[in-house]
Structure 1
């Protein structure tokens, strides 16, 4: 992931930094339907599906993105 994204290294965010960074509580964070624009990298097999479901727990049940809404 680091090489593909042009970074030296990548790592997960510490739990205490999740809400201040993303605006979401733990368990409500999703890269495909966030409030802010973050770079998202998907495997090319994601293009095989017309829709990709997004699990936002109780925040927005049943959300999904169409293929045309994703930058691939």
Structure 2
């Protein structure tokens, strides 16, 4: 949804790669000079929090499809 507040720093892409061993988690961010790989625990903690917030308000696949369909008809 475009009317949600609180995601001012979510303008660039973030790929969170995680698994069963959290110490091996990595965040990949696209930055002007290429890709940045982030794996320090302090930074990962901040990205985990950000990812959970985004995930909590994200549309499910059906509602996302409906939104895209509605927007495409408005163009």
TM-score (norm 1): 0.30
Higher helix share: 2
Higher strand share: 2
Q: Which is greater in Rg?
A: 2
TM-score (norm 2): 0.29
